[in-house]
Amino acid sequence: MGFLQINNLGKVHYHEYGIGIKPMLAFHGYGMTGKQFNVLSQSILTKYHVYGFDHFFHGKSELDGWTEKQIVAGMPKNMVRAYLDEWFNVYGRQRISLMAYSIGSNIALILLEEYPDLIDEIILMAPDGLAAFKGFSFLQHHTIGRFLFKVVVKTNWVVPAILKTLKRFKLIDDSLYTIAYNEIDTAKKREDVFYTLNLIRYLQPDMKNVAQLINQYHIKCLLIFGRDDLLFPKKPVMAFIDLLDEPEVHEVPMGHWLVTAALDTYLVNLPYDTSAQN
């Protein structure tokens, strides 16, 4: 493990694991850390040496001197480039691959926009960023949504009540309810949700540009969706998938919680060859 010190941003912590030799930068989902992908021990980790980054307000990554006003204003998209710039400073400029789950996909896709000529492949699981998610957009960008978001995270009962209502009307399933509830059951956790979603609200890749770059540079693209995922399902992403020349797309019999031993087994049996280079 190690740290990247990024000017005007902070200290970004990363974990190293995997017995492969090809470098892969990985970005986890909400509530996890950069170690999230270590469960993929029989598939991804046999081919890659993974550098799994902790998001801010997760693990050991820390913003440097940012005020609440700055956090709520959001991290500029151009700062994401510094992740790879600083990694290159440590490990040398070289070809890499990218992997991400859920909200981590936005960072991976922005890095692909910045360095398409150095990306061999990208693996995205239950990805955010490929299609607009109206719930997050309302909380992150709409004036009323942002106000309500700030108010409800200051209370002990409002968010749990909302989650129970969503579950009752089958707008979220049991697994999403459990994941969400475990991330809002204390005041500190609710504050971290608020800060995280505000910090990343401008980290939105240009998907037409991403698709064009994937095709232009022949970047291998593996997309994995949960068949029962109510948060980031496959259907809204079809418009993006149709722009790609040769995507590898899979829909597995799981919900949003994809990065598991069951997915590891699934990936081992894929005909998809993750060992090939461009």
Is pLDDT at 14 greater than 70 in this prediction? yes
pLDDT value for 166: 62
Q: Per the structure block, which two tokens stand in for 71?
A: 């956090």
CA angle (139, 210, 99) in 5-degree steps: 75
pLDDT in tens, 192-222: 888 888 899 889 999 999 999 999 999 999 9
Is pLDDT at 277 greater than 50 in this prediction? no
On average, the pLDDT of the chain sits at 86
Is pLDDT at 177 greater than 70 in this prediction? no
pLDDT value for 191: 82
Least confident range from 139-153, 215-229, 249-263: namely 139-153
pLDDT value for 160: 67
Percent of the chain residues topping a pLDDT of 70: 78
CA angle (157, 172, 208) in 5-degree steps: 115
pLDDT value for 275: 44
- Give the CA dihedral 254, 227, 255, 203, nearest 10 degrees: 130
Indicate the pLDDT class of residue 278, thresholds 50, 70 and 90: very low
Place of tokens 């991400």: 100
Instruction: Please indicate whether residue 129 or residue 100 has the higher confidence score (pLDDT).
Output: 100
For residue 37, the surrounding DSSP H or E stretch is none
3-state percent helix, strand, coil for the chain, nearest multiple of 5? 45, 20, 40
Percent of the chain residues topping a pLDDT of 90: 64
| Reported pTM | 0.85
User: How is domain 2-132+204-268 classified at the CATH fold level?
Assistant: Rossmann fold (3.40.50)
Contacts of 186 (CB under 8 A, 6+ apart): none
Is pLDDT at 142 greater than 90 in this prediction? no
pLDDT value for 186: 74
Is pLDDT at 104 greater than 80 in this prediction? yes
Asked if 71 and 195 touch (Cβ cutoff 8 Å), the reply is yes
Name the residue ranges covered by the structural domains of the chain: 2-132+204-268
Is pLDDT at 119 greater than 60 in this prediction? yes
Instruction: Please indicate whether residue 115 or residue 176 has the higher confidence score (pLDDT).
Output: 115
Asked if 3 and 11 touch (Cβ cutoff 8 Å), the reply is yes
The number of residues making up the chain comes to 278
Instruction: Please indicate whether residue 223 or residue 31 has the higher confidence score (pLDDT).
Output: 223
Among candidates 80, 118, 85, which has minimal Cα distance to 206? Answer: 80
Is pLDDT at 237 greater than 70 in this prediction? yes
pLDDT in tens, 49-72: 999 999 999 999 999 999 999 998
Is pLDDT at 135 greater than 90 in this prediction? no
pLDDT value for 136: 53
